Structure 1
């Protein structure tokens, strides 16, 4: 039991570092963010920070991973996802332009560097995210809320692609792209279209 004290303090410090890093990456961008400054704001030496994260890229990917894990409550995290959580995340993205810009640029770079930390992160992210949302859609099918004529994995993949594509559109035209409204509209159309398709099968 005694070991839980230092362990809990270590987890709390890690969360503090991630909070500081999220703010720094969002405000300054990846290239201008300094590990030294993150360490200073976290009350650590640079060597102390490297005890938790061995490189800036590792820290940034941890920030992105926690961003995906954030629930509708701002200070709660869960490594699970659903359609509703994806819609909420897209809507929140409008308040985090710096992180959206970093996410889009890092995801594009990850497609080039096979075997890099970023590449491996995004490959795993899309696998996990699609599986989680497909599981939710499958549950909706079992509850009679979504047509069984549509493959859950296909629907999940398309929904994630729309969510990420809207981020790029919003960065290019923030004044005319409402990400939250558009992803919600797309999900409503997908559900309605699936119902029509199921009706065609039943005729």
Structure 2
């Protein structure tokens, strides 16, 4: 996993960041259930009691790790997408896939924990349910706008395409983690969107 970026802030904030870094790495490596708070404390170089001072339990820690991962992804995208044209918004999402190919630990975290969270009793179950609902809605909106702007307009069902696209990305992440030299996630997503009839700008930058 990539080394954590040094952070400024109070001693308490730095300690929390160190705990989150350790939890993110261990959860991505072994999943939620196989990792204990004592494991995370030892990895972070602190006592179990010291960790509990900052996080009351593993469930709370997991949710904050997941939220932080999404914050990291948003920061990597370099700007808010709220004021972007739909075409640029799609381009930024494709760029995010390229950035994800440089952070296997973060991708592994989501792949492993999202699979575990299919259990309704898992502490991240509701988090992932709401996340996918939000992603399906946003992706369907984006596809609808892009389909309407195409010449001629594309007749695919945006809701169905949104589900297919999210499923494609999730499946590609697993294949890429297993065999990164043979799986180009961005190229596969671009091929899928092109087959739908969308015209995309080529990406000539080197990939991780």
In the other structure, the counterpart of 2:204 is: none
Aligned match of 1:140 in 146, 161, 185? 146
Partners of 2:111 and 2:23 lie apart in 1 by 17
Aligned match of 1:89 in 87, 96, 99? 96
How many pairs are equivalent? 176
- Which one is further off, 141-150 or 123-132? 141-150
Structure number with higher helix proportion: 1
Structure scoring higher RCO (CA < 8 A, sep ≥ 6) equals 2
TM-score normalised over the length of structure 1: 0.67
Shift of 1:36: 6.8
Cα RMSD of the aligned pairs, angstroms, is: 3.8
> What are the residue-to-residue correspondences of 1:39-50 with 2, within 5 Å?
46-50=51-55
What does the per-residue CA deviation read over 1:28-76, in whole Å, with 9 as the maximum and x for residues that have no partner? Answer: 7353862576596xxxx5355228x973222222223324544522xx5
In the other structure, the counterpart of 2:114 is: 107
Contact 1:91 1:180 in 2 (8 A): yes
In the other structure, the counterpart of 1:152 is: 158
Asked if 1:173 is matched to 2:172, the reply is no
Q: For structure 2, which runs of at least 5 residues remain unmatched after alignment?
A: 1-8, 200-208
Shift of 1:92: 1.4
In the other structure, the counterpart of 2:3 is: none
Partners of 2:97 and 2:138 lie apart in 1 by 16
